[in-house]
Every structure is written in C-alpha cells, then in structure tokens.
Structure 1
Amino acid sequence: MRLGVMCGVLAVLFSGAVAPAAAAPAASEPVYDYAKAIRETVWVDIGRDGDGDGRSDRVAADIVRPSEATSRVPVIMDASPYYSCCGRGNESELKSYDSAGKPVKFPLFYDNYFVPRGYAVVLVDLAGTNRSAGCADVGGASDVGSARKVVDWLNGRATGYSAKTGGSAVTASWSTGNVGMIGKSYDGTIANGVAATGVAGLKTIVPISAISSWYDYYRSDGATFGFNPDGLARTVESRNGGQNCSAQNQVLASGATANGDYGPLWADRDYVARAGNVRASVLLSHGVNDLNVKTIHFGQWWSALNVEKKIWLSQTGHVDPFDYRRAAWVDLLHRWFDHYLLGLDNGVQNGPAASIERQPDQWADQSAYPAANAVATTLHPQAAGTLGTATSSGTASFTDNPSLGEDTWVTNPGTAALTYSTGTLAADLQVSGTSTVTVTATPSTSSARVSALLVDLGPATIRNFAGGGEGITTGTAENCWGASAPGDDACYRITSADQKKVSYTILSRGWADLANYASLTQERALTPGTAYTMTFRLASTDHVVPRGHALALIIGGTDASFIRGPAQPGRITLDLARTSASVPLAGIPPAATTHPAPPGAAHVPSEARADLR
C-alpha cells in the first residue's frame, strides 16, 4: 500500500499537475476550548487626566482569548460605562472577578460564542467607570478616547500596563489589530464615536439603538427633553469610589445650557458631523418605536455614512436584536465578523441592505433604506382638515396646553392640536426615511413650542413597545449560544413578542422651539403677533400605512409626553399656505377627502424614557 501511494504521488509530481489547494472555510468553527481561555486585564493609558489627580488615566480592558491559538486573533470589543453600575443585556449582567482580580464573568454572549471560534473579546470600562481611572464625559473626548486608545493598543500604537497604577508594560502580541466594536445604547454610541475618528484597525462597528449626536438625545431643534448629561455621568461613576469627578460633571452641567441651543458641548459630541471619517463597515440595528434613543439617530447616521452597511429595523422600543430575532441575529453577526475581521469571503456584504419588521415577527427585506422608490413628497394641510399634495390657503389656530400629550392629540385634540388626514387610502402607502415639517406660525406670546406627529389611523396588531419589555416578553426557559465556563454561562432566557391591538400608530414625531427659527445655535426673542417660519425634523422610520387606513399629520404646541413647555404658553396661528410636511413616500397619496373620526385607544407612553441602557 505504501508503494502504491508513493507511486501515485510521484506520478502527480512528474506530470506537472498541482494538487488542489484546501478550500477556504465558509465560517469560523468552535475549535478552541473556552474553559482554557486566557482571562486577563490590561490598563491602557489614554493620555488624559480627567479626574485631576496628576496622573494620566488608565482604562481597564478585560480580555478573554483562546489559549491554544497559534496565530494572532482579531478582536470583538464592547466599550461601556455600565459594567458595574447598571448591567448589560436583557438580564442586566455585570462583570465579575475572582479574589485575585482576574475577570470571570463577561456580560452577554459574545465571549461564549466567538472565543471558541478564534476571536478575542475585549470589554472596556470607559474612563471613570468600574475599574478605570478618570471621569466619564458622556460621549466626549474621554469616553471616545477610552475606546480608541484600546484600539490603538491592539495595533501597537498605545501603551498598556499590568496594573491600574505602576505595573509593567504589556503588549497585544496576540492581536491581528483587526477590531470590531459592538454595543447597545451608550456602548453602540461609543462605537459610532470611535468610528468617526477614522482610527486605523477598526474594521467594523455594530451600533444597536445607538446615539449619533448627543444634542439629539437631550434636545430637539431647540426644544428640551428635561434631562441633562451630568446626571448620566454621576450615575455611571457611582460605583467607582475614590475619584473626584465634580469638575468634569460641572463642565457637562454648564455646557448643556438650559435652552435648546446647539453649542460647543454638543458639537464635540456630534458624530454625524464627522461621519466622513468613518472607514469601518456598519451593521446597524434600531427599533422604530425607540422612545429612548429616538430614531432620528439612526436615520441621520445612516444617511451620512459612505461605507458598506446594512440595517435592521424592528417594531420594538429600546431592545437588542438578540432579544427579538435571536437565531437570525447571531448568524448574521457570525458571518459579519467572519467577513470583516477574519477576511472570509462569505458574501455577507451583498444582498438586501435593509430588513424591516412589518408586523410582530414578520420581516421583509428591502434593497435599500430609505426604500429605493421613496420620494420626498410635500403634503399640505387644508383648512377643511384634509391633507394632500395640493397647495392650501387660510389659517388655523391651536392653544398650547403643556399638560397634554400626543395620545390626547390623536384621540381628543380639542383646541390643543390640529389634525389633517389623507382620508381612506385605496392602496398601501410606505413612509420610508426622515420627514420634515415647515410651519409659518404666529405666536400670541413671546415663547412657543411646536410639535408634529405622523399617524397611521387604523387598527393594527403591533409589538407593545410601551410595555415593560418594550415589545418583548421574557420567559423562564433558556437557550445557549456558545460554550460555558464556571461563572460565565452562555445561556439566556427565551423571549417572545409582546403584542397589542391598537386603533392607531404614531409612526414619527418631532419637536421644536420656535425661538430657534433662525438658528439652532442661538435662540431669538419672539414678538407676539409676528409670523415666524421654521423647519424641523421628524423621527426616521419605515412604516407601511395599509390600504383602508389614513395617514394623518397632527400639529400642536408642547407635547407633554416628551418636551418642556414654554415660559408663556399661548395661542399659535398657522399660515396654511406656508405650512407643509415633506414626507418620503413610496406610493401616491389620494386626493384629500374628509378625515375619519379619530380613534380612541392609546398605546404610547405618557412620558419619554430617559434610561440610556
């Protein structure tokens, strides 16, 4: 047998034929023993002294990586302020450590699933949180620098140490330098911010329900939501004793002015303005009913990016796709990281750019977002209460009542809001993209707020995004995603769609302070009786208004569900000839007729959520 094999080999060699190369793997496989993985912490110097103690701050990077790997491995990184104060994921997991300070529990499934497949997972405590020195600055240079410097260290461009102070220098000799950042909410926001620096080595980001401009988290076209970044900073710093962050917190408090002006603090935290620097690919996920990180964030970020990208839009609120479409999400992440971090040619970058949940657990792929056939369509409110493409004339007035919110506006507006409707649609009408509203408004007082809603008037079964789970119900049974080790299991409670029947759906909202009519950077005093024209944005969305329903535009003053009222609420009169909405539509709205009677069931929260987790 040996002689026969040798003769066959010689025949191949002398014939000049070349043996076929081994086929490239289609996907990374779990070939490494997770129980034997190396767990360690490196403190990376970020070159700042945020807490004013006279020493350059070091941030803790907790690392888990395969011990048997004979070649360098890429990194999946989640940089967060929540590893000790608030927890990560649907089960609010925290980091844990053994008696020697070595990391044991790595929140979420990324380590369990990807380390056996040849990745390192690095969880970074942002400056001023958990075991890191410094102070949080809520999306500013310290937060973003915390994560960027770890990317630099993974690429040999920054210094890491074996201890928070002192210690010896540590290099990432095991790293390929290819980094993918992932995270929900604040964590995904940091991924956006780091990508906007253009740092070399960051190959991809996966922002989930993430902020793209901190101004739009705390303010909206001059209107204020009533909470400020210094409160968030104090929350995430609360578990990191011994550091005095009062000076940094005061910078946040004074920079976030009481009015809604866009100033230097917000400009420093505006990643959309620097989206041209992004070189990493982007896999983006957001709930179209997220009333925490509102959907303007994904819309403006997506539009500003010029890289390979894909997007998932669910009907949920502030929820990770692991908890509403688990198996498909893990599979997509696996292929995404394999392609962008390992270089596998699996085609994940091809195919439809968007996947959108149309009804609970019913998804539709779309070639583009916004929809390729969506056209910015100008809709005009008519004096008769109709909404259509024809120009209008006349005036209409409402009286600002800061105690009323959007649900009342839809079901029983009275004199507090104005409703304009297309009437019953003969065919489906898709709203896909970011709308704007232009008002020419005359206030009766020297201060005024203006808010607007796009509403689908008609019955539907939706995810109950206003419920405690924001569209999901968490069961008691578990399924597992990867390998487990003592103190760090890979099993998570199974979730299902929390559904609710409604008679209308608010699909987009926007708010403005009329005092910012001329500029977002400086409000101006209003003169009662004088007309002012202002254009403001509505939240990004992708929603199909079905045949038999109607699309309505509602305009009012202070939406008490979200924004603070003016010092002197009064009566506002609209010049209908110079008031309109620009709505990206796929389909043609019918000629305006009388609008249907407003329905009676509400389903949205009475106040905005302000928990950035």
Structure 2
Amino acid sequence: MRARSLWTALVPLIAVAAFSQGAAAAGTVPEIVVADGVTQPVFGYADAVRERLFVESTFDSDSDGLRDIIAFDVMRPRATEQGLKVPVVMDASPYYSTLCRGNDSECKADVDGDGLLDRWPLFYDNYFVPRGYAVILLDMVGTNNSTGCPTTNANQDNLSAKQAINWLNGRATARNAAGEVVTADWHNGRTGMIGKSYDGSLAMATAVTGVEGLTTIVPISGPTEYYDYVRSNGVVTRGNSYVSYLANVVTNPDRRDYCAPVRDALGAADGDETGDYTAFWNERSYVKKVPNQRASVLLYHGVNDDNVRADHFSKYWYALAENNVPRKLWLSQEGHVDPFDSRRAVWVRTLHRWFDFWLHGVPNGIMDEPRVDLERAADVWETHADWPVPGSTGTEVFLQPTGRVGLVPAAANATAGFQDSPTQSQATMIGNPDAVQPNRLAFLSAPLTAPLHISGTPELKLRASADKTDTNFGVILVDYGTAERVNHRASGEGIVTLSTEDCWGLGSATDDPCYRQTQKRVATSDVEVVTKGIMDAQNRQSIRVAVPLTPGELANYSFPLLPEDYVFAPGHRIGVIVVGSYPQYSSQADQTRANISLQLRSSRIVLPVVGGTAAAHAAGI
C-alpha cells in the first residue's frame, strides 16, 4: 500500500514544453523539457540564482541558551524567477570546510567574498540545475557556517536537514545574511537527499523522521547503526572515544576549543569501557525507525567496505523490505568508494532517471526494472530481482574434527580446541589452512565441483567453553583459490585515480564540471577473505548486558558475519577459520588468552546458499 500511494502521488503527467527567454518575456511560465525519457539541460548554470540562507533549528547543541542556526547554500535555475517550479537535490554534510567532498576533495568556497558560494563541491549542481532542479548543500550543525557543535549522529546532527525541508515546504522561516525573510515559492514540494558516508547517514536520518516533503534519498556507503560503526556484538572495533574524535575532525579548527565540552560529554557517555549497547547508541540508530519513513531509497554500498562495513546497508535494506519502502540497491566490489568513481556513466544515467521519476514525476519505467545491480567481478555487473538473491536459503555447514566441513553434524563426542591470541595477524589466521596452528581452528571444504553462490548474511553458531570469565570469538570465511579480483585492500580501495578528466554538466568561471577518471585496481591472488564476524563472549545473550562466563562451562554462541554476495568457483576450497581475538577487525583485542574448546556436533556456519542444501551438496560440500 505504501509503495502504491507513493507512486500514485508522482504519476500526474508533467508538461514538457521547451523554454525560451522570449516565451518567458511574453508571460509564459517556463517549464522543463523532457526528451528521450529524461530532463534536458535547457537552463543556464552561470546565470543560476545563488543564495546562502539560515534557518533556526529546534535544538541547542552547545547549550548556549540559543537555538542553533543551520546554514545552507542554494542554487536554482534563473527561470524560477519567472515561475518555474523545481524540486531540490540536497547533500547535507559536516565536511564542506574540513575533509571536503569527492575524489577531488572539493571544499565549498566563496571566491569573491560576497557571501555567496562560487565553488560547489561534486557534480550535482553542474548536472542537475540545467535540467530543472535546485541544489542545496547544507552545513550540518556545528560545521562551516552553521552554529552549535557536532554530536556525531545524535539528534542534533540528524535533525539539521529536516528544518531546511520544513522551510522548503513553508513550515519554517529562513533568512539571508541581511536578516530578510526568504521563501521557497519556487519549490515544487519534492526533495531528494544524497550523500556518501556521513552525508549518507544524514540522508537516512532525515528520512526516518518521516518529514513531509522528503520524497527520495540516495545514501552511499553511510552508517545506519552507529553502534555497528564502532562496535560489533559487544567488541569495540574503533579506538576509544571515536565518537568525540570524529566530532572534533568535522568541527572548524577555530571552534574546536569552544566545542570541547560537547565532545567531553560524548566521550563520557559512549560506554567504551564495556562495548555494550546503551541509549547512547539507540539515538544513533536509523534501522529501528524505518517504519516512520516515507521516502523511497536508491541505496549503494561496496561489499568490501572496511570503513562503513556492509552490515550497515544490509540491516537497513532488510528493514526497508519489511516496511515495503520503494527501493533499489547497487552493490559493488570496491571498498569505501563513490559510484561516481566506480561506474560513472551508468551511475549518472541511473541517478538522473531516479530523480526525474521521483522528483519531477517523469514516467520513465525505472521502478519496473530489476531491483538490484550487483558487481560480480571488476566491471562485470549483473541484475537480480531482489537481494538476497531469490532462492537464497540458510544452509547449515558443520565443522568436522578432521578439519573439514560437511552437511552432516560431527559425532557427539567430537571436540577441537585452541588458545586465543590477542596479537595474531589476519595473515597468520588464514595462512597454511591445512596446517595445525595453536591459535586458530581451520575447517576446509574439498575442492568444489560446481559453483557455490552465497547471497545474504552468514551466521556462526558455536557450542563452546573457555577457561576464563571472558574471551572473544572471531570467524573468517575464506575462498582458497587463484583468481583475478578487485584489489580493495590496496590504496584506493579498489580504484586507481587517473590524471585524465571527463565532464558532467555545465560550469562557470569559478566552477567546472570536470572530475578525474578512475579505473578498477585488480590483482591475481590465491586467497580472498570473503567475509568475517566477531563477538564478545560476555554478550552472548544480549549486546545490552554483559554476563561473565563460567570457566569450563559449555554455552551457545551465535553471531552474524558481514553480509556478502559471492560465488566460490569450481576447484576452489571454502575455509572457515575460527579464532578468539581478531586484532585487524577490532581495536580492543581480548587479553585473557583463554583456552577455548568447541563441541563440534553443534558448531556450524549457516551460509545463505542460493539453491540451499541441494546446491551445497552439488558443489561437493
């Protein structure tokens, strides 16, 4: 019902007459032009209207007794002064004056000092303004021209863009630098948000408020559960006080001392000493708030992203499906890479059609196409009806005392043991899989006799004991077999940035639409870490409460690995590597060096195999 109502609201056909200055002068209201199913660049860029506006928020992040002011820069076609109504493409970000945006690290810049933006990061303004869109680049609270202090995905960050959308729809007041009230009488009522990483999280954070007027979002590699960004099942995976550290990074240097008390409060409340889930993290969760969401979603993520790991997209995607939110998904083989730098021409074409459909109401059929684009190998893409790929079924693969895996449980008395090592490297964990090593257990399949496709979220289930009151558990799913793969662990996270450029849209004397091109970085390797997972054994019952272990007592442990979509080739072997601490995954390795024993009959990995047990059996497991 939600999908039908959203689409119905966009179906009214739009007029597609060409606009000319002569027609405007004669009193005709200008209109967009649609040809070949997409809006055309019939409006100017150099003469576009540029504004810097300020809207009062509903919060006071720095506790100075005044509501924070959110600043944003607007660019819209000059034809909006003659009656053209346009939608908005908005990128809300904390980075416009610090780390800046895109592969070219572009910052906002007022070149001539007139208080208006002359250099606009990214290509959205160059490409979409000539096609009949307004573009807004919004400074998140406490950054660039906004007041207050950043709170790293707390409510103050999350509500920054909502107030601008309220202004666009007549529910809030914005002023220019002279204090004059400015209205958005040129707006058609629809806004789309887009952004990578932190910007992507702000798009999702705004969407789950249910704010009226936000029609669609395009989150790119953004955190959806901030707990999962710095934790994993009770284990701290990033350095202590990371939340306050990032708040400092995005704050303008001249305001960092001023915002120190806010950062100190973040550090005191983050619970680094336990790694448990608290109300601090509940505020920074978007997944559980998806039932509030009205906006459709075009979601992009790299499955090999070790910055914002893939469980961020999967948990959000599952929630979107449960709530019947209109959606599409792109999954690439790269790490933390923007699709503009991964599959540029196809991405721009797709984004253009997506915004045309959802924001201008152009009936271009994009929602009738396959829901999922998935990169199988470097620049080799395929489409699927959904994700996980239909037919994916949780398939139990049991750990055997022979160091093998199989579809039948081990004998009741079969056990295997190892000692946790807080310093063991990942290379040591996965190296020499046929050899017995004291700090890991390796379980291997025979060489596969047919391809084995997994699609979804694997899960490790162990029955184990430890001789200490605490330990960690880690697992790595490995493909042992030679192949050319996207080298996502090298510099560039799977891409090489070239010196050549291509251009996307129109420019001005101070802002060109040209960006450095890229190509995939590939390498031939004998082993690939497919996915991995980790947990604190004390959080076996809940990530909210830690319960010490009873030394020597068997207990059940279950935790997810990162989601994946991967095909193991014939002749390759599947490896399941079980460890305790996993230093390359977590910043807080357990120091107990516990001796761990597995009861193998109940210990298995549940793989989301396309075709289920029959496909696993056919592949020789």
Return the TM-score normalized by structure 1: 0.91
Distance 1:312 1:122, change over 3 A: same
Aligned counterparts, 1:125-274, within 5 A: 125-163=139-177, 167-227=179-239, 228-239=242-253, 241=255, 244-258=258-272, 259-274=274-289
1:455 aligns with 2:478: yes
Partner-residue secondary structure (3-state), 1:574 = strand
Residues 449 and 618 of structure 2 are in contact (CA less than 8 Å); yes or no, is this contact kept in structure 1? no
Q: Which residue matches 1:33? A: 44
Q: CA deviation at 1:407?
A: 2.3
Q: Which residue matches 2:616? A: 589
Q: Which residue matches 1:410? A: 430
Aligned counterparts, 1:23-422, within 5 A: 25=35, 26-69=37-80, 70-97=83-110, 98-163=112-177, 167-227=179-239, 228-239=242-253, 241=255, 244-258=258-272, 259-305=274-320, 306-393=324-411, 394-412=414-432, 414-422=437-445
Moved more, 333-342 or 306-315: 306-315
2:562 equivalent among 518, 521, 539: 539
Q: CA deviation at 1:337?
A: 0.1
Residues 248 and 256 of structure 2 are in contact (CA less than 8 Å); yes or no, is this contact kept in structure 1? no
Measure the CA separation in 1 of the matches of 2:129 and 2:238.
42
Measure the CA separation in 2 of the matches of 1:242 and 1:531.
50
Measure the CA separation in 1 of the matches of 2:263 and 2:592.
31
Distance 1:500 1:592, change over 3 A: closer
Residues 42 and 161 of structure 1 are in contact (CA less than 8 Å); yes or no, is this contact kept in structure 2? yes
Q: CA deviation at 1:391?
A: 1.4
Q: CA deviation at 1:245?
A: 1.9
Q: CA deviation at 1:149?
A: 1.1
Q: CA deviation at 1:566?
A: 1.5
Q: Which residue matches 1:7? A: none
Residues 422 and 590 of structure 1 are in contact (CA less than 8 Å); yes or no, is this contact kept in structure 2? no
Q: Tell me the C-alpha RMSD between the 2 structures.
A: 1.7
Q: CA deviation at 1:239?
A: 3.4
Listed as ranges, the gaps of 5+ residues in structure 1 are 1-21, 595-613
Moved more, 502-511 or 398-407: 398-407
Measure the CA separation in 1 of the matches of 2:41 and 2:410.
64
Q: CA deviation at 1:243?
A: 7.2
Measure the CA separation in 2 of the matches of 1:329 and 1:538.
29
Measure the CA separation in 2 of the matches of 1:445 and 1:262.
23
Which residue type is aligned with residue 368 of structure 1? D
Partner-residue secondary structure (3-state), 2:408 = coil
Which residue type is aligned with residue 497 of structure 2? T
Residues 448 and 620 of structure 2 are in contact (CA less than 8 Å); yes or no, is this contact kept in structure 1? no
Tell me the alpha carbon deviations over residues 228-252 of structure 1, each in whole angstroms, 9 at most, x when there is no partner.
Answer: 2110001101335287222321232
Measure the CA separation in 2 of the matches of 1:23 and 1:561.
53
Which residue type is aligned with residue 275 of structure 2? G
Residues 388 and 589 of structure 1 are in contact (CA less than 8 Å); yes or no, is this contact kept in structure 2? no
Q: CA deviation at 1:438?
A: 1.4
Partner-residue secondary structure (3-state), 2:545 = coil
Partner-residue secondary structure (3-state), 2:118 = strand
Q: CA deviation at 1:530?
A: 1.8
Residues 451 and 619 of structure 2 are in contact (CA less than 8 Å); yes or no, is this contact kept in structure 1? no
Q: Which residue matches 2:12? A: none
Measure the CA separation in 2 of the matches of 1:576 and 1:473.
44
Tell me the alpha carbon deviations over residues 394-421 of structure 1, each in whole angstroms, 9 at most, x when there is no partner.
Answer: 1111111111132221114622111112
Q: Which residue matches 1:481? A: 504
Tell me the alpha carbon deviations over residues 257-296 of structure 1, each in whole angstroms, 9 at most, x when there is no partner.
Answer: 1222000011111111111112111111111110000001
Which residue type is aligned with residue 607 of structure 2? V
The ranges of structure 1 where at least 4 consecutive aligned residues each deviate by more than 4 angstroms after the TM superposition are 22-25, 591-594
Aligned counterparts, 1:400-549, within 5 A: 400-412=420-432, 414-549=437-572
Partner-residue secondary structure (3-state), 2:128 = helix
Tell me the alpha carbon deviations over residues 67-118 of structure 1, each in whole angstroms, 9 at most, x when there is no partner.
Answer: 1233211000000000011011111110001312211111000000000000
Distance 1:240 1:80, change over 3 A: farther
Measure the CA separation in 2 of the matches of 1:173 and 1:574.
67
Residues 387 and 592 of structure 1 are in contact (CA less than 8 Å); yes or no, is this contact kept in structure 2? no
Q: CA deviation at 1:53?
A: 2.2
Residues 443 and 530 of structure 1 are in contact (CA less than 8 Å); yes or no, is this contact kept in structure 2? yes
Q: CA deviation at 1:591?
A: 8.1
Measure the CA separation in 1 of the matches of 2:68 and 2:238.
32
Listed as ranges, the gaps of 5+ residues in structure 2 are 1-31
Distance 1:373 1:267, change over 3 A: same
Moved more, 582-591 or 71-80: 582-591
Measure the CA separation in 2 of the matches of 1:475 and 1:550.
36
Residues 449 and 619 of structure 2 are in contact (CA less than 8 Å); yes or no, is this contact kept in structure 1? no
Measure the CA separation in 2 of the matches of 1:408 and 1:246.
41
Measure the CA separation in 1 of the matches of 2:563 and 2:405.
20
Distance 1:404 1:44, change over 3 A: same
Which residue type is aligned with residue 273 of structure 1? K
Distance 1:592 1:205, change over 3 A: closer
Residues 399 and 572 of structure 1 are in contact (CA less than 8 Å); yes or no, is this contact kept in structure 2? yes
Distance 1:216 1:23, change over 3 A: closer
Which residue type is aligned with residue 293 of structure 2? V
Which residue type is aligned with residue 126 of structure 1? M
Measure the CA separation in 2 of the matches of 1:118 and 1:23.
8
Measure the CA separation in 1 of the matches of 2:576 and 2:205.
34
Q: Which residue matches 2:4? A: none
Measure the CA separation in 2 of the matches of 1:231 and 1:243.
13
Moved more, 24-33 or 104-113: 24-33
Q: Which residue matches 2:16? A: none
Which residue type is aligned with residue 448 of structure 1? T
Residues 109 and 482 of structure 1 are in contact (CA less than 8 Å); yes or no, is this contact kept in structure 2? yes
Which residue type is aligned with residue 276 of structure 1? P
Residues 452 and 619 of structure 2 are in contact (CA less than 8 Å); yes or no, is this contact kept in structure 1? no
Which residue type is aligned with residue 524 of structure 2? K
Return the TM-score normalized by structure 2: 0.89
Tell me the alpha carbon deviations over residues 196-242 of structure 1, each in whole angstroms, 9 at most, x when there is no partner.
Answer: 11111111111111111000000000111132211000110133528
Q: CA deviation at 1:567?
A: 3.5
Partner-residue secondary structure (3-state), 2:217 = strand
Equivalenced residues, count: 571
Measure the CA separation in 2 of the matches of 1:420 and 1:173.
65
Residues 406 and 445 of structure 2 are in contact (CA less than 8 Å); yes or no, is this contact kept in structure 1? yes
Distance 1:120 1:580, change over 3 A: same
Q: CA deviation at 1:586?
A: 1.1
Q: Which residue matches 2:20? A: none
Partner-residue secondary structure (3-state), 2:170 = coil
Which residue type is aligned with residue 98 of structure 2? C
Measure the CA separation in 2 of the matches of 1:179 and 1:23.
19
